[in-house]
Structure 1
Amino acid sequence: MGTEQSNPDLDLELLEGYLDSLGKTIVEQMFALYCQQVAIYLNDIESAQLNDSLSGWEEHCHKMKGATASVGMCQLHAQLKLLEKSTAPKEQKRELLTALKLANEQAILTFKSWLESK
């Protein structure tokens, strides 16, 4: 299927490079670590949103942005680049956080599907 190569969610060139140089087991471990860490990042982002902490919001979005880049989640990374600098009011950030959680779930499913196909 040629559609996989044009997947906007994942940096397939980066991920294929990981597979070639590190092997599938290491890539699976990297992904498992991402899944563990992202739960922490999302909790921290939510905490910053609830406390209306601009610096906390920026810091935790930045950390999650780095994690998404390391596992080739392009679309999620781009979303976090925008969120990180957001000065939206507290209520709007709650909506942004909900969208981020959904996008993260989708990115995880996309990554799992890609990895299972290898």
Structure 2
Amino acid sequence: MDNLNTQLINEYVQALGQDVFIQTVELYEQQAQAYLHQLGEVAKIADHVQWQLQCHAMKSAAGNMGLQQLHAMLSSLEHSQETALQLTQRVEQLTQLNQQSLQQLKQWLAQG
């Protein structure tokens, strides 16, 4: 569960209740798909300004969900000046890490 900040997640679950937090996870999943789509589009043309904006938005959302490894990766990529090809590869990496993190989060919630 190293992808997760379980202390933060546990605090949210205690404050909101598990059902509400699961709804929040579902909302994040939808929003993350939109962020990843936008990152893919701006990566194709290496639009570094929009890349930064989209990374920042997704970084905030991931951090709020307790997805600490994804948050850290987005933080490190936020000011990237890489080429379109490199940015496109980063989107693939982000997509995989997002999926892994969400899977771990759901497993953690199922155990609780």
- Is 2:3–2:104's contact at 8 Å kept on the other side of the alignment? yes
Of the three residues 29, 40, 47, the one matched with 1:46 is 40
Who is 1:4 aligned against?
none
Higher relative contact order (Cα pairs below 8 Å, separated by 6+ residues): 2
Q: Structure 1 CA distance, aligned partners of 2:103 and 2:13?
A: 18
Who is 1:85 aligned against?
79
Of the three residues 68, 73, 84, the one matched with 2:67 is 73
Q: Structure 1 CA distance, aligned partners of 2:16 and 2:95?
A: 29
What is the percent sequence identity of the aligned residues? 30
Deviation per residue, 1:27-61 (Å, 9 max, x gap): 10110010010000001101111122111111001
Deviation per residue, 1:7-26 (Å, 9 max, x gap): 32111111111111110011
Q: Structure 2 CA distance, aligned partners of 1:22 and 1:95?
A: 36
Where 1:78 maps in the other structure, the secondary structure is: helix
Aligned positions, number = 112
5+ residue gaps, structure 1, are 1-6
Could you tell me the TM-score, scaled by structure 2's length? 0.96
1:12 aligns with 2:6: yes
Could you tell me the TM-score, scaled by structure 1's length? 0.91
Q: Which runs of 4+ in 1 moved over 2 A?
A: none
Of the three residues 32, 44, 50, the one matched with 2:26 is 32
- Is 2:39–2:51's contact at 8 Å kept on the other side of the alignment? yes
What is the root-mean-square deviation of aligned Cα atoms in Å?
Answer: 0.8
| 1:22 partner letter | L
